[in-house]
């Protein structure tokens, strides 16, 4: 039996240890973080507001609940498993966040240093979530649905085009100049034309998002296919592989790391097009919500919508990275999102 | 390091192929200029024998191997295997490269199964894959990915990937060239064992004189490019061989002489 390679035994150790995982007993930093959040709650509750705002008490309660959760994690140690070690890893962030919220609270609601309609206090953003959650939620739903349609068709078309021009010289000869001409054009430049040509603003938006997604996916898939180690093909051919096997089982798997970079870049550009399309065409979604909030000078709603949009985009990218990590689990040294 | 299972021999009982190379010329195009690589190569190999093509780096011996595999076609001349001209690559003739070139997205098992999968017979032949992995001493590593293997282990997987197809001609392109010297010595012994059990014809390309003489029955020495055969040395020693055998030292002097390096020995 051959001796086990050290690289293999490395794997059983699992993840590189997150800070604090090895520590046993009370988590002191967690108690400090809890104390700062109790401080935030006290500040909100006890310091009178310069302009009375609703939901101050709710915000104080949320801060207290957060502090309580930190105390539980600090005391329970490793009993809570992975969730606890993640919480411990972000300990310094919780302390910093408490100071940021406190500072924000002071310069807005408590002293009014920042002018009121343009800068919202934490509780006025909370107010939006409490009072307008149904419209916000619907907007997220519309946005995700529109993005999903456009991204799906764009990624599919980009992948197919990339594989075709990566594989076939003839296809590359004809498609490459078109790609060079049209690809760099921002998808938003098609907007007026698309809304004119397509029967509905919805289908026009799907087209624009698909276009924005397809370009990076095409280029990266193509470069992935083109940079496949030639020896892989020689090996497969000597083993009796047919062209279809070479494409499906050699070229495409070998190109996948590149394809995922393309999918990531495509997702980024598709967000930009999504927001513009919603602001100018489709009367739904987060882009429209922002526009609507601006129309009513509802800056609180705008901040809330921006926050939700950030969470949505970040969440979608997280999902993409999870899919990639799962698909490319054979690679070592993957970048984490 | 690895004790090879001897009861696997029956699995790989295909007979070796006969090779006839008749007056082969080959040239590449390099920036519009023809670059001759092979210049009138002419020899035959008996079925089931183990020969070495020995020569300086870049002399064209690997090109000859690619022609035999069917990956390229000669500019002039005929390469015949079992009396028939070599056409496209065929799983009966398998090449093992200097780099193991395993597919990094496939586990050891899936890498070994590659040829069977390409021919659509992997479902019927799962046992053959297991046997081939056992044969090269990597049992238990089925689910490992290539980046988890050492160089020697990866090259063993590459050998198993070739042997699972029951090739009748094994084309070895400096397969041990990138291994550390200890692993290399072990693998040399293993290669002889594999060849003896499998009963196939094996052609080894190498620029290592000792390796060629220790492993094979016949050493064809190539001159610098464009390559011609400058010597045909028969290694008249039975297996298992001993590295310190005085006859090997004698043959080494002869081979180095043909390579223009006699003064160093």
Whichever domain contains A300, its CATH number is: 1.10.3720.10
At residue A2 the predicted structure's pLDDT band, cuts being 50, 70 and 90, is: very low
Q: What pLDDT was estimated at residue A10?
A: 41
Kindly determine whether residue B119 and residue A240, on different chains, have CB atoms separated by under 8 Å. Answer: yes
pLDDT top residue among A223 and B83: A223
In a domain, A26, yes or no: yes
Q: Are residues A46 and A158 in the same domain?
A: no
Domain range for A300: 133-327
In a domain, A287, yes or no: yes
Most confident of A179-183, A314-318, B72-76, B87-91: A314-318
Note the pLDDT of residue B33: 86
Structure token digits, residue A94: 């919780």
Q: Which of B101, B145, B147 sits opposite A235 (nearest CB)?
A: B101
Residue A281 has a pLDDT of: 82
pLDDT average, residue stretch A145-150: 96
Cβ neighbours for B101, distance < 8 A, ≥ 6 positions apart: A229, A231, A232, A235, B158
- Looking at residue B6, its pLDDT comes to 41
Judge whether A188 lies within some domain: yes
Q: Which residues of A touch B147 (CB under 8 A)?
A: 7, 330-332
Q: What is the mean pLDDT of chain B?
A: 85
Question: What local confidence, expressed as pLDDT, does residue B8 receive?
Answer: 42
Q: Which residue of B has its CA nearest to A244?
A: B118
| Predicted pLDDT at A24 | 57
Q: Quote the tokens at residue A317.
A: 């990218």
Q: How confident is the model at residue B14 (pLDDT cuts 50, 70, 90)?
A: low
Verify cis geometry, omega within 30 degrees of 0, for the bond prior to A45. Answer: no
pLDDT of residue B225: 76
Contact flag A234-B118 (C-beta cutoff 8 Å):
no
* Number of domains making up chain A: 2
Residue B11 has pLDDT above 50, yes or no: no
CA dihedral sign of residues B51, B57, B61, B67: positive
Contacts of B103 in chain A (CB under 8 A): 232, 250, 253-254
- Report which of residues A52 and A288 the model is more confident about: A288
Helices A252-280 and A133-167: crossing angle in degrees, nearest 10, is: 140
Partner residue opposite A5 with nearest CB, options B137, B139, B149: B149
Provide the mean pLDDT of chain A.
Answer: 87
Q: Which residue has the higher pLDDT, B247 or A23?
A: B247
B144:A249 CB<8 A: no
- pLDDT band for B110, please (50, 70, 90 cuts): very high
Q: How far is CA B235 from CA A9, A290, B170, B175, B191, in A?
A: 44, 84, 19, 21, 17
Q: What's the distance, Cα to Cα, between the start and end of chain A in Å?
A: 39
pLDDT in tens, B193-241: 888 887 889 999 998 899 999 999 999 998 887 888 888 999 988 888 8
Q: Are B81 and B17 in contact (CB under 8 A)?
A: yes
Domain ends where: A123, A152, A186? A123
Q: Kindly state whether residues A107 and A226 are assigned to the same domain.
A: no
Domain boundary among A94, A123, A152: A123
Query: Using 50, 70 and 90 to split pLDDT, how confident is the model at B56?
Result: confident
CB A331 within 8 A of CB B104: yes
Domain end residue (candidates: A100, A123, A146): A123
Q: Is the pLDDT of residue A315 over 50?
A: yes
Q: Are residues A150 and A95 in the same domain?
A: no
Task: Tell me what ipTM this predicted complex has.
Answer: 0.78
- At residue A8, the pLDDT reads 42
Q: For residue B104, which residues of chain A lie inside 8 Å, CB to CB?
A: 330-331
User: Has residue A229 been placed in a domain?
Assistant: yes
Residue A336: pLDDT band with limits 50, 70, 90? low
Confirm whether A336 is domain-assigned. no
Residue B101 Ramachandran class (φ > 0 left, ψ -120 to 50 alpha, else beta): left
Residue A308 is predicted with a pLDDT of 94
Same domain, A74 and A177: no
Are A70 and A198 part of one and the same domain? no
CB contact under 8 A, A239 and B118: yes
Band the pLDDT of A6: cuts 50, 70, 90.
Answer: very low
Residue A87 sits in the same domain as residue A140: no
Q: What share of chain B is helix, strand, coil (3-state, %, to 5)?
A: 35, 25, 40
Q: Determine, yes or no, domain membership for A6.
A: no
- Write the Ramachandran bin of B94: left for phi over 0, alpha for psi from -120 to 50, otherwise beta: beta
Instruction: Give me the pLDDT at residue B165, please.
Output: 87
The residue-averaged pLDDT of A33-45 equals 93
Residue A2 within any structural domain of the chain: no
CB contact B151 to A (< 8 Å): no
Q: Do B153 and A253 touch (CB under 8 A)?
A: no
Residues A119 and A139 placed together within one structural domain of the fold: no
Helix/strand/coil for B168: coil
What structural domains does chain B harbor?
A: 6-101+171-264 (3.40.50.300)
The pLDDT, as a whole number, for residue B196 is: 86
Same domain, A260 and A288: yes
Same domain, A97 and A146: no
More confident of the two residues A133 and B264: A133
| A195 shares its domain with A286 | yes
| Residue A280 confidence (pLDDT) | 87
Position B4 scores a pLDDT of 44
pLDDT band at residue A61 under the 50/70/90 scheme? very high
Q: Find chain B residues with C-beta within 8 A of A229's C-beta.
A: 101
Whether pLDDT at A193 is above 80? yes
Q: Is pLDDT above 50 for B13?
A: no
Looking at the structure, tell me whether residues A111 and A148 fall in a common domain: no
Residue A337 lies in a domain: no
Q: Which of B3, B103, B158, B186 to mutate to test the interface with A (most CBs of A within 10 A)?
A: B103
Asked if residue A3 has pLDDT above 70, the reply is no
Please indicate, yes or no, whether residues A319 and A254 belong to a single structural domain of this protein.
yes
Task: Categorize the per-residue pLDDT at B264 as very low, low, confident or very high, splitting at 50, 70 and 90.
Answer: low
B104/A contact by beta carbon, under 8 A: yes
pLDDT digits (tens, 9 = 90+) for A68-112: 999 998 888 777 788 888 888 899 999 999 999 999 999 988 888
Instruction: Report the pLDDT value the prediction gives residue B265, as an integer from 0 to 100.
Output: 57
């Amino acid at each position: 039996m051959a001796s086990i390679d050290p690289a293999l035994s490395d794997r059983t150790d699992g993840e590189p240890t997150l800070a604090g995982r090895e520590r046993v007993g009370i988590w002191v930093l967690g108690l400090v973080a809890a104390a700062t959040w109790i401080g935030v709650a006290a500040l909100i509750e006890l310091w009178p507001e310069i302009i009375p705002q609703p939901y101050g008490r709710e915000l104080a309660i949320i801060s207290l609940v957060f502090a309580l959760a930190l105390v539980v994690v600090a005391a329970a140690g490793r009993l809570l498993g992975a969730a606890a070690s993640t919480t411990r890893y972000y300990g310094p962030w919780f302390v910093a966040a408490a100071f940021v919220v406190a500072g924000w609270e002071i310069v807005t609601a408590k002293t009014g240093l920042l002018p009121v309609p343009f800068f919202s206090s934490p509780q006025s953003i909370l107010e939006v979530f409490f009072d307008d959650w149904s419209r916000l939620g619907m907007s997220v739903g519309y946005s995700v649905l529109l993005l999903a349609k456009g991204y799906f068709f764009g990624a599919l078309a980009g992948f197919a085009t990339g594989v075709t021009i990566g594989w076939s010289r003839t296809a590359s000869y004809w498609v490459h100049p078109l790609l060079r001409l049209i690809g760099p054009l921002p998808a938003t430049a098609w907007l007026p034309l698309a809304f004119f040509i397509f029967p509905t603003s919805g289908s026009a938006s799907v087209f624009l998002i698909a276009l924005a997604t397809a370009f990076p996916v095409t280029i990266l898939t193509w470069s992935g296919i083109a940079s496949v180690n030639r020896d892989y093909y020689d090996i497969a051919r000597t083993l009796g592989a047919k062209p279809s096997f070479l494409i499906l089982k050699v070229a495409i798997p070998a190109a996948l790391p590149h394809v995922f970079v393309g999918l990531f870049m495509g997702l980024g550009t598709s967000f930009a097009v999504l927001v513009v399309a919603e602001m100018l065409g489709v009367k739904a979604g987060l882009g429209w919500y922002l526009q609507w909030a601006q129309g009513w000078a509802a800056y609180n709603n705008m901040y809330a919508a921006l926050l939700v949009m950030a969470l949505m985009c970040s969440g979608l990218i997280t999902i993409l990275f999870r899919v990639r990590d799962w698909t490319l689990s054979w690679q070592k040294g993957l970048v984490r999102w | 390091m690895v004790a090879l299972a001897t009861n696997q021999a029956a699995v790989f009982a295909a007979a070796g192929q006969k090779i006839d190379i008749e007056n082969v010329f080959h040239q590449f195009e390099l920036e519009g200029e023809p670059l001759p690589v092979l210049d009138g190569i002419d020899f035959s190999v008996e079925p089931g024998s183990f020969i070495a093509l020995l020569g300086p780096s870049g002399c064209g011996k690997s090109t000859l191997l690619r022609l035999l595999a069917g990956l390229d076609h000669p500019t002039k001349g005929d390469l015949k295997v079992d009396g028939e001209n070599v056409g496209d690559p065929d799983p009966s003739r398998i090449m093992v490269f200097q780099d193991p070139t395993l597919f990094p997205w496939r586990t050891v098992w899936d890498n070994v199964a590659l040829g069977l999968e390409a021919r659509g017979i992997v479902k019927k032949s799962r046992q053959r894959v297991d046997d081939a992995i056992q044969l090269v001493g990597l049992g238990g590593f089925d689910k490992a990915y290539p980046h988890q293997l050492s160089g020697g282990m990866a090259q063993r997987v590459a050998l198993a990937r070739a042997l699972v197809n029951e090739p009748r001609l094994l084309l070895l392109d400096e397969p041990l060239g990138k291994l550390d010297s200890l692993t290399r010595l072990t693998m040399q012994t293993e290669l002889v064992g594999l060849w003896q059990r499998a009963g196939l014809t094996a052609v080894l390309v190498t620029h290592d004189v000792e390796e060629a003489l220790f492993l094979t029955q016949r050493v064809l020495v190539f001159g610098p490019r464009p390559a011609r055969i400058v010597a045909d040395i028969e290694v008249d020693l039975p297996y298992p061989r001993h590295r310190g055998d005085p006859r090997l030292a004698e043959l080494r002097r002869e081979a180095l002489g043909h390579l223009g390096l006699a003064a160093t020995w």
